[in-house]
């Protein structure tokens, strides 16, 4: 057998997943998940202040373990493994030194959260994002936000950097450059020692760093200096050109070839973001909305240059040439909180329960931890089983899905979640059901915005942890959108998409479209809307919209006296 194989790596928010894939038929010969140990302990985070940082050691340990494990599991000879591609969350930037190494890998900054990866969901930079939006609208020059939906988010590159350099003089001084997570890992694999030489991700730059070829790359130094002179200086130590992920970033370094038991002939593709790789793994085509549903949700579409023309789609996460399928325009929207909204509720119940179990004298410590882990594992399933039994006609509460702010439509990370309509009969299952409905209503707001902006949506594909794990969420989504939802077979669609990019970068397939056709894993389920549910959710959606307008301050008479 002389089949050629590639490896796709998908760095999610809680774990990194790898798959090794046969490029001739998409057969997944091995997969492995590595949960970030420091992140799992909540280190370097402060949810109350919306601070979420990750230590790069979590990522490097996961890099080595996942690749070694999938090679071992597959039994594929190293000589047949031709390429690797890395997708990560974003915008998740890190301050790096002159060699492109994250500052937190140096002893001086090893415990400093500002020297670590500022995870996409970290919203400490709301003020900075507001400044960028205000300046973009008023400075008299180019509106650099126009290809990113017209509203810059605290989740993104420049806002995060500006916040950190204001907070931490030492990091500001020591940071030679800043790199997105996907570029850091790619640079590590190819043994780069110069961040200015690394082929930076088009996807990351276009969707999160205000990059566009029409203004020669990044925003001008004049614009940046109005925010902070140090940003203007930094521009010289970032990048001008960006690259799509069907292209090679370099070859595996000798160090990593030895660590992984691979050849230095192994090509490493330019990095990308998880959702966009997921769309490729899920066979994205024009007029199809791909929903990558994990802790958050990303909604990805592709449009031909002819179809999109000069249309600037308002309030989404941007439209970028080549961010998904090179030669087409990638469109991104999404929700800052999706599975996380449900995890938040789960933790609300589990945390005090766990503390009581630990404080009790009934069980030994090992049995206590086993019981707590079982409750943590089972609670979402249990709540889902109970929620499915609640008749839709039951006046369940109405919730807003903004526990992590609102990403789209119209980013507003200052927003918070809310629930109304509680009474003495409101049990955990009813609140959970309201939260499930809220994240589906939030998805409908995005579909409505795309259509209002002239982007046709004829089909919906679901993938990611929630799509594979929750029948309740997916049926509710089909009912709320009143559209069938196809579920991608692969439970690692982003990693599969990264593998597809790797096969093109390694010269095995001639294009991303050809790689999709050859390596797709297809779909294994379709959720069809249930007409009677569609009617009920139409009314509930109107309540959700009114409640949202009220909470966001656009009070309406209908709600004001409730």
Ligand X SMILES: Nc1ncnc2c1ncn2[C@@H]1O[C@H](COP(=O)(O)OP(=O)(O)O)[C@@H](O)[C@H]1O
Please state the φ and ψ torsions of residue 403, each to the nearest 5 degrees: -65, -20
Asked if 14 touches ligand X (CB under 6 A), the answer is: yes
In the complex, the smallest distance separating the C-beta of residue 12 from ligand 5RP, rounded to whole angstroms, is 4
Asked if 39 touches ligand 5RP (CB under 6 A), the answer is: no
Return the residue of 206, 248, 282, 334 that touches ligand 5RP, per CB under 6 A.
Answer: 334
DSSP string, 281-327: HTT--TTEEEEEESSSEEEEEEE-HHHHTT---TTSS-EEETSSSTT
Task: Look at residue 147 and give the partner it binds from ligand 5RP, ligand X, none, a contact being a CB closer than 5 to 8 Å depending on partner kind.
Answer: none
In the complex, the smallest distance separating the C-beta of residue 302 from ligand X, rounded to whole angstroms, is 21
Cβ-based nearer residue to ligand X, 267 or 500: 500
Return the residue of 343, 387, 400, 435 that touches ligand X, per CB under 6 A.
Answer: 343
Please state the φ and ψ torsions of residue 118, each to the nearest 5 degrees: -90, 100
Stretch that binds ligand X, among 280-288, 335-343, 452-460, 552-560 (CB under 6 A): 335-343
CA dihedral 94, 97, 99, 105 (to 10 degrees): -70
Asked if 465 touches ligand X (CB under 6 A), the answer is: yes
Asked if 382 touches ligand X (CB under 6 A), the answer is: no
CA distances to 430, 438, 440, 559 from 434, rounded to whole Å, are: 6, 6, 10, 18
In the complex, the smallest distance separating the C-beta of residue 353 from ligand X, rounded to whole angstroms, is 17
- Provide the CA 320 distance to its chain's centre, in angstroms: 16
Return the residue of 89, 154, 492, 503 that touches ligand 5RP, per CB under 6 A.
Answer: 89
In the complex, the smallest distance separating the C-beta of residue 104 from ligand 5RP, rounded to whole angstroms, is 20
The DSSP secondary-structure symbol of 198 reads S
Return the residue of 70, 96, 249, 275 that touches ligand 5RP, per CB under 6 A.
Answer: 275
Distance separating alpha carbons of residues 20 and 481, to the nearest angstrom? 35
* Beta strands 248-251 and 267-269, pairing class: antiparallel
- Provide the CA 17 distance to its chain's centre, in angstroms: 14
DSSP string, 168-196: -HHHHHH-SEEEEHHHHHHHHHHT---TT
Please state the φ and ψ torsions of residue 553, each to the nearest 5 degrees: 105, -5
Cβ-based nearer residue to ligand X, 165 or 460: 460
In the complex, the smallest distance separating the C-beta of residue 222 from ligand X, rounded to whole angstroms, is 38
Distance separating alpha carbons of residues 39 and 92, to the nearest angstrom? 14
Stretch that binds ligand X, among 7-15, 20-28, 168-176, 302-310 (CB under 6 A): 7-15
Asked if 384 touches ligand X (CB under 6 A), the answer is: yes
Q: Which residues pair with 403 in a beta bridge?
A: 405
In the complex, the smallest distance separating the C-beta of residue 275 from ligand 5RP, rounded to whole angstroms, is 4
In the complex, the smallest distance separating the C-beta of residue 177 from ligand 5RP, rounded to whole angstroms, is 21
What residues have CB less than 8 Å from 425, skipping those under 6 apart? none
Helix axes 339-359, 365-389, angle to 10 degrees: 140
- The count of residues in the chain is 562
Q: Please state whether the peptide bond connecting residue 409 to the residue before it is cis, i.e. omega within 30 degrees of 0.
A: yes
Binding mask 162-201 for ligand 5RP (x = CB under 6 A): ----------------------------------------
Stretch that binds ligand X, among 123-131, 340-348, 350-358, 546-554 (CB under 6 A): 340-348
* Beta strands 288-293 and 297-303, pairing class: antiparallel
Cβ-based nearer residue to ligand 5RP, 334 or 442: 334
> Under a CB-based contact definition with an 8 Å cutoff, are residues 159 and 122 in contact?
no
Distance separating alpha carbons of residues 87 and 180, to the nearest angstrom? 11
- Provide the CA 506 distance to its chain's centre, in angstroms: 25
In the complex, the smallest distance separating the C-beta of residue 334 from ligand 5RP, rounded to whole angstroms, is 6
Asked if 282 touches ligand 5RP (CB under 6 A), the answer is: no
Return the residue of 124, 295, 438, 475 that touches ligand X, per CB under 6 A.
Answer: 295
Stretch that binds ligand X, among 172-180, 214-222, 223-231, 337-345 (CB under 6 A): 337-345
Return the residue of 133, 245, 295, 412 that touches ligand 5RP, per CB under 6 A.
Answer: 295
DSSP string, 29-53: EEEEEEE-HHHHTTTT-BGGGTB-E
Q: Which residues pair with 93 in a beta bridge?
A: 180
The DSSP secondary-structure symbol of 524 reads E
Asked if 466 touches ligand X (CB under 6 A), the answer is: yes
Task: Look at residue 36 and give the partner it binds from ligand X, ligand 5RP, none, a contact being a CB closer than 5 to 8 Å depending on partner kind.
Answer: none
Binding mask 96-125 for ligand 5RP (x = CB under 6 A): ------------------------x-----
Residues of this chain that interact with ligand 5RP (CB under 6 A) are 12-13, 89-90, 120, 207, 273-275, 294-296, 298, 332, 334
Q: Which positions lie near ligand X, rule CB under 6 A?
A: 12-14, 294-295, 339-340, 342-343, 380-381, 384, 464-466, 469-470, 473
């Amino acid at each position: 057998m002389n089949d050629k194989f590639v490896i796709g790596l998908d760095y999610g928010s809680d774990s990194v997943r790898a798959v090794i894939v046969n490029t001739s038929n998409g057969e997944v010969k091995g997969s492995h998940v590595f949960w970030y140990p420091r992140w799992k302990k909540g280190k370097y985070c402060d949810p109350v202040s919306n601070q979420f940082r990750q230590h790069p050691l979590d990522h490097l340990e996961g890099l080595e373990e996942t690749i070694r494990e999938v090679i071992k599991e597959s039994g594929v000879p190293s000589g047949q493994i031709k390429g690797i591609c890395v997708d990560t969350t974003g915008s998740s930037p890190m301050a790096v030194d002159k060699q492109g190494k994250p500052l937190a890998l140096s002893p001086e900054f090893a415990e400093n959260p500002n020297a670590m990866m500022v995870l996409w969901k970290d919203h400490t930079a709301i003020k900075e994002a507001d400044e960028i939006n205000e300046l973009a609208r008023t400075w008299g020059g180019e509106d650099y936000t126009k290809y990113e939906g017209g509203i810059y988010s605290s989740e993104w590159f420049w806002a995060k950097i500006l916040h950190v350099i204001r907070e931490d003089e030492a990091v500001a001084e020591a940071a030679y450059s800043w790199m997105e997570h996907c570029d850091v890992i790619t640079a590590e694999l190819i043994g780069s020692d110069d961040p200015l030489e690394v082929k930076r991700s088009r996807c990351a730059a276009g969707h999160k760093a205000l990059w566009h070829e029409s203004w020669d790359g990044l925003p001008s130094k004049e614009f940046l200096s109005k925010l902070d002179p140090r940003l203007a200086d930094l521009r010289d130590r970032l990048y001008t050109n960006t690259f799509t992920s069907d292209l090679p970033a370099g070859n595996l370094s000798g160090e990593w070839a030895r660590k992984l038991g691979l050849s230095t002939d192994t090509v490493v593709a330019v990095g990308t973001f998880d959702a966009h790789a997921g769309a490729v793994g899920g066979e994205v085509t024009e007029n199809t909305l791909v929903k990558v549903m994990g802790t958050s949700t990303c909604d990805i579409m592709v449009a031909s240059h002819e179809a999109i023309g000069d249309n600037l789609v308002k309030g989404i996460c941007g439209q970028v040439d080549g961010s998904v399928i090179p030669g087409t325009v990638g469109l991104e929207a999404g929700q800052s909180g999706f599975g996380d909204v449900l995890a938040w509720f789960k933790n609300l119940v589990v945390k005090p329960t766990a503390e009581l179990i630990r404080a009790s004298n009934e069980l030994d410590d090992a049995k206590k931890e086993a019981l707590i882990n079982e409750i943590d594992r089972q609670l979402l399933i249990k709540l889902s089983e109970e929620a499915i039994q609640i008749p839709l006609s039951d006046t369940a509460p109405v919730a807003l899905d903004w526990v992590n702010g609102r990403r789209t439509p119209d980013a507003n990370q200052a927003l918070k979640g809310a629930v109304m309509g509680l009474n003495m009969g409101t049990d955990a299952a009813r609140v959970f059901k309201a939260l499930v409905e809220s994240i589906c209503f939030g998805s409908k707001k995005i579909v409505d915005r795309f259509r209002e902006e002239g982007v046709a949506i004829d089909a919906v594909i679901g993938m990611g942890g929630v799509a594979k794990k929750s029948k309740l969420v997916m049926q509710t989504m089909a009912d709320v959108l009143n559209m069938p939802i196809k579920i991608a077979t692969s439970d690692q669609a982003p990693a599969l998409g990264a593998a597809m990019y790797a096969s093109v970068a390694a010269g095995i397939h001639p294009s991303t479209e050809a790689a999709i056709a050859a390596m797709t894993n297809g779909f294994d389920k379709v959720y069809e809307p249930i007409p009677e549910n569609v009617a009920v959710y139409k009314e509930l959606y109107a309540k959700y919209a009114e409640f949202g307008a009220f909470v966001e301050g656009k009070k309406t008479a209908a709600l004001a006296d409730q």
